[in-house]
């Protein structure tokens, strides 16, 4: 239960054991692209933001980039120049961890290394008040493991933004098994006050998006490795037939193989080496070579100035084969996430459309595709390969048997 008061033009919502304000003192740890993007979002929402990085050069550069970003938004008419100045003034920069001590919420956005994150959370807990919320922006690591480093693990929760944070509407909210149940609704309300769309996800590897999206990359690479089609043709199939804004190889190169491969490897390991999440040697070799994609100038594609780009095949039968194979694997993974109560059907579909810009929610898409057709396509793949990665989710078989769909309408 809560009630609202207006006080000095601030709306304060009182909960049983804490106070939620629409304007807060929020610390961000890590001034890279994600940390800076989160700082921009929170400052624009009227919060006092302290952006911290242990590297003084990195935090200074982040400040310059943020100032330029607000200036650019004002020049484009997205906000007034006065607003841009106000929002930027909401952000302070620091290379001293101790300056985070007055934060009411801290969001960590550093390297995806569990031990480094646990060490950071121990240090943060020794600095801040007992009421300060400690959040991680991890994309795949266990929230429970991170929380275990704290004396008060009930204050720890996952708040996972998507890159670029100012543009992507979705935020995954992931409670650990230790998280105070009241904190979940509090954080959901907070995310909404930042003009973002929160979805609640279970603390399992990859949460919603980074779990469900794995076949978009993995099955595309498998098709490439089998010699069925090249990168350009596979990308063209998914953009032209599927309506995806980027093909899987374009997207992996855009994300960076230093990020995308690590997430794939992490999800595979954390799912006890389930073969459906198995990484590919093709992507691993790019990662090992430092061919990270756009950021390094080379990945699946060559981004050098005079590089020749191959043209995709326009064979309709080949394009249909590629599109259908990747799509059924995506729908199957979304179905499995729903079957295992990772999130509601609505939140899974919202996550995929708002977190990675899929043209449709995958469960709604599965209903339109026909669950019986989906089951048959998966069984055909399994019968050909006899690999566990192609196993049909039990919920699909059950719904087909009962002549039902994911959505009633």
CB atoms within 10 A of CB 72: 11
Is residue 386 annotated as part of the catalytic site, yes or no? no
Q: How far is CA 328 from the centre of its chain?
A: 21
How far apart CA 11 and CA 22 sit, in angstroms, is 6
From the list 36, 47, 140, 210, the catalytic residue is 210
Partners of 108 in the beta sheet? 29, 136
| Residues with Cβ within 8 Å of residue 29, at least 6 apart in sequence | 35, 52, 53, 100, 106, 107, 108, 109, 110, 120, 124
- Of 172, 219, 270, 377, the catalytic one is 172
Spatial contact of 144 and 176, defined as CB atoms under 8 Å apart: yes
Distance in Å from the first CA to the final CA of the chain: 33
Residue 110 tokens, joined? 């550093």
Task: Based on the residue annotation, tell me whether 210 is a catalytic residue of this protein.
Answer: yes
Q: What is the chain's alpha carbon radius of gyration, rounded to the nearest angstrom?
A: 22
Which among 31, 139, 266, 332 is annotated as catalytic?
139
Q: Match 């080379």 to its residue by tokens.
A: 298
Q: Is 139 a catalytic residue?
A: yes
Catalytic residue among 31, 125, 160, 333: 160
Distance CA 49, CA 134 (A): 15
Look up residue 391 and give its DSSP letter: P
Q: Are strands 3-7 and 10-14 parallel, antiparallel or unpaired?
A: antiparallel
Find tokens 């339109």 and name the residue: 368
Q: Is 137 a catalytic residue?
A: no
**How far apart (Å, rounded) are the C-alpha atoms in residues 242 and 244?**
5
Catalytically active residues, by annotation? 139, 160, 172, 210
């Amino acid at each position: 239960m809560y009630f609202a008061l207006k006080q000095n033009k601030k709306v304060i919502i009182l909960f049983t054991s804490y106070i939620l304000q629409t304007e807060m003192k929020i610390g961000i740890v890590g001034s890279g692209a994600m940390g800076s993007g989160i700082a921009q979002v929170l400052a624009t929402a009227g919060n006092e933001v302290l952006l911290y990085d242990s590297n003084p050069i990195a935090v200074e550069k982040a400040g310059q980039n943020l100032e330029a970003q607000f200036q650019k938004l004002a020049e484009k008419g997205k906000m007034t120049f006065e607003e841009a100045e106000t929002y930027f003034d909401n952000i302070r920069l620091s290379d001293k961890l101790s300056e985070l001590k007055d934060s009411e919420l801290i969001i960590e956005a550093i390297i995806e290394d569990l031990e480094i994150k646990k060490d950071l959370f121990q240090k943060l807990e020794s600095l801040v008040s007992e009421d300060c919320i400690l959040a991680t922006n991890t994309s795949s690591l266990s929230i429970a493991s991170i929380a275990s480093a704290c004396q008060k693990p009930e204050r720890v929760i996952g708040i996972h933004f998507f890159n670029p944070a100012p543009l992507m509407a979705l935020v995954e909210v992931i409670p650990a098994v230790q998280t105070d149940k009241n904190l979940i609704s509090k954080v959901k309300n907070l995310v909404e006050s930042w003009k973002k769309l929160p979805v609640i996800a279970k603390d399992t590897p990859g949460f919603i998006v980074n779990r469900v999206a794995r076949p978009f990359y993995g099955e595309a690479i498998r098709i490439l490795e089998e010699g069925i089609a090249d990168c350009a043709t596979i990308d063209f199939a998914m953009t032209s037939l599927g309506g995806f804004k980027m093909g899987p190889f374009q997207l992996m190169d855009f994300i960076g193989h230093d990020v995308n491969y690590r997430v794939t490897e992490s999800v595979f390991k954390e799912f006890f080496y389930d073969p459906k999440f198995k990484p590919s040697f093709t992507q691993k070799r790019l990662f090992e070579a430092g061919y990270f994609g756009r950021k390094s100038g080379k990945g699946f594609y060559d981004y050098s100035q005079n590089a020749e780009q191959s043209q995709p095949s326009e064979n309709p039968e080949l394009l249909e084969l590629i599109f259908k194979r990747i799509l059924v694997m995506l729908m199957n993974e979304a179905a499995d996430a729903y079957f295992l109560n990772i999130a509601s059907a609505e939140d899974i579909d919202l996550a995929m459309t708002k977190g990675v810009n899929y043209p449709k929610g995958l469960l709604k898409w599965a209903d339109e595709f026909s669950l019986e057709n989906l089951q048959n396509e998966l069984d055909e793949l399994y019968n050909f390969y006899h690999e566990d990665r192609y196993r049909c989710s039990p919920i699909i078989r059950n719904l087909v048997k009962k002549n039902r769909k994911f959505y009633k309408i």
